[in-house]
Chain A
Amino acid sequence: MTTSTVARDSFGVFGTTAVLLVTEAGALSQARALADAELAAVDLACSRFRPDSELTAVNAAGGAAVTVTEMFADLLAAALRAARLTDGDVDPTCGQALAGLGYDRDFAQVRAGGPASLGTVFGPVPGWRRVEFDQQVLRVRVPTGTQLDLGATAKAWASDHCAELIAGRLGCGVLVSLGGDLAVAGPVPDDGWRVRVTDDHAAGPEAPGQTVTITDGGLATSSTTVRTWTAGDRQVHHIIDPATGEPARSCWRTVSVAAGTCFDANTASTAAIIRGEAAAAWLDDAGLPARLVRPDGTVVTTAGWPADDDPAPSS
């Protein structure tokens, strides 16, 4: 524990907002520089919208094997681990499905562009098992027509790595939040890290929801209510059910999970949206504290998540 004052920085990254908190005010600028470098490397590795990214090269290889950097390999290995841990509910081969819904450029452009045309016939995504990947020799091959999308996992992976990097190099306590997926590392403030859990990460610190404190690991929230746009005559969102290739039709509007890492929290919260009603028992069995919110605002909690004394309002 530390009694130091928490210093804060906030900046845009990955089309969303990053928040950086450190327990040593004098370490903030160095922490920011470390985060900037790490996030730039992650973006170059796995942005779906950058023509110079490794992900673009892999997706455009026409079924040929591609040599990748260690960072891309780590990101892909993590994405495949998420798929394995969730029996494929969090699948990195959803790129084509997202593009077919019109999400084929930065989200701000998608939203600004007005209704997108539906450019796909829905169906199951190719599936993570079709990705040929040798992490030892850094070679990846995806079948022709399969498009990887690491967006579901890369943000959380980057939160973990930035937090570990900053705490390791600077020795201070740190919280890194990338679009609401947050990781903590190093010494913890006396009363823990205070987090407002709500539907939209861009909402203010007193937005409807619940305030909790965490001391380790990560916390992530997935929701069907925020990253939405119009495709054809439908309102769609970005969490794809791999079994159908369509936006998941979930009984939860928002799921927040605390886990040993931000990556694992994000994996579980995304899978919970897709699993629907069965998710609460799955999270409970896994010992994962979670807060699941139904469209009418009803809250269900699992595995020691504190009682919700400030119910979320109806959407």
Chain B
Amino acid sequence: MSGYDWRHAAARRDDGVRTVTRFTWRAGVAGVLCSAIIGLAFGHHADTQTAHQHQQGILVPNQPPRPGHGAGQVTSGAT
């Protein structure tokens, strides 16, 4: 035991802690970036979905009916 290098061991421990800390920070930053990218992607997708669903609603005519005069060429009533 007397030959054990305590100072070297402590330095190695500190290096390890720094390495873990560095990786933790990098993972955190990467997570934030990924979240932002995913958020942008899903946000865009949500907009697309809304627009798509709106387009798939009941279709309105290009022109509303205009006043007509006299008899009709055809009758629209219930069957």
A304–B64 CA distance with the chains assembled, in angstroms: 6
Which chain B residues in 23-44 approach chain A with CB under 8 Å? none
B3 CB to nearest chain A CB (Å): 75
Q: How far is the CA of A124 from the CA of B50 in the complex (A)?
A: 30
Which residues from chain A contact B60 at a C-beta distance below 8 Å?
259-260, 286-289, 303
Query: How many residues from A make CB contacts under 8 Å with B?
Result: 69
Within 8 A of A (CB), among B50-64: 56-64
- Mask, A204-240, CB within 8 Å of B = 1, is 1111011111111111111101110000000000000
Residue A241 interfacial (CB < 8 Å): no
Instruction: Mark out the residues of chain B between 63 and 79 whose CB falls within 8 Å of any chain A CB in the assembled complex.
Output: 63-79
With beta carbons under 8 angstroms apart, the residue of B58, B64, B65, B71 that contacts A205 is B71
Q: A194-B68, A206-B71, A213-B68 are in contact. Are A199 and B77 (CB under 8 A)?
A: yes
Do B75 and A198 touch across chains, with their CB atoms under 8 A apart? yes
**Nearest-CB residue, chain B, relative to A273:** B78
CB distance from A174 to the nearest CB of B (A): 12
With A260-B59, A268-B58, A286-B57 given, is the CB distance from A211 to B72 under 8 Å? yes
Contacts of B79 in A (CB 8 A): 15-16, 155, 179-181, 201, 226-227
The smallest beta-carbon distance between A207 and chain B, in angstroms, is: 7
Contact B76 A289 (CB under 8 A): no
Q: Is the CB of B74 within 8 A of A258?
A: no
B49 to chain A, nearest CB (A): 14
**A6 in contact (CB, < 8 A):** yes
A33 contacts B by Cβ under 8 Å: no
A21: chain B residues at CB < 8 Å are 73-74
Closest to B61 in A: A217
A179 to B73, CA, bound (A): 14
Is A288 a contact partner of B72 (Cβ separation < 8 A)? no
Judge whether A198 and B76 touch: CB under 8 Å.
Answer: yes
Flag whether A49 is at the interface (Cβ < 8 A): no
Chain A residues 179 to 201 lying within 8 A of chain B, measured CB to CB, are: 179-182, 191-201
Q: How far is the CB of B60 from chain A (nearest CB, A)?
A: 5
Residues of A within 8 A of B63 (CB): 214-216
* Residue of A180, A196, A264, A268 with most partner-chain B CB within 10 A: A196
Question: Across the interface, do B67 and A180 meet the contact criterion of CB distance under 8 Å?
Answer: no
| Contacting pair A202 B77 (CB below 8 A) | yes
Q: A16-B79, A199-B78, A202-B77 are in contact. Are A194 and B72 (CB under 8 A)?
A: yes
Interchain CA distance A177-B66 in the complex, whole Å? 19
Contact call B66/A201, Cβ cutoff below 8 A: no
Query: Once bound together, how far apart are the Cα atoms of A204 and B72, in whole Å?
Result: 9
Expressed in whole angstroms, the Cα–Cα distance for A15 and B57 within the complex equals 30
Give complex CA distance A259, B70 in Å. 23
Given contacts A268-B58, A286-B57, contact A212 B65 (CB under 8 A): yes
Q: How far is the CA of A307 from the CA of B64 in the complex (A)?
A: 12
**Distance of B26 from chain A, by nearest CB (Å):** 45
Contacts of B69 in A (CB 8 A): 211
User: Is A47 part of the contact surface with B, judged by Cβ < 8 Å?
Assistant: no
List of B residues within 8 angstroms of A83 by Cβ = none
Would B73 and A180 count as touching, CB distance under 8 A? no
5 A-B pairs with the lowest CB-CB distances in the bound complex, closest first? A260-B59, A196-B72, A223-B78, A179-B79, A304-B64
A sample of 8 cross-chain residue pairs with beta-carbon separation below 8 angstroms, ordered by A number, consists of A195-B74, A196-B75, A201-B75, A201-B76, A213-B67, A215-B62, A217-B59, A221-B77
If A182-B76, A201-B75 are given as contacts, then 14 extra A-B residue pairs at C-beta distance below 8 Å, sorted by A number, are A16-B79, A175-B73, A194-B71, A200-B75, A200-B78, A203-B77, A205-B73, A206-B71, A207-B75, A210-B68, A212-B67, A217-B61, A260-B58, A260-B61
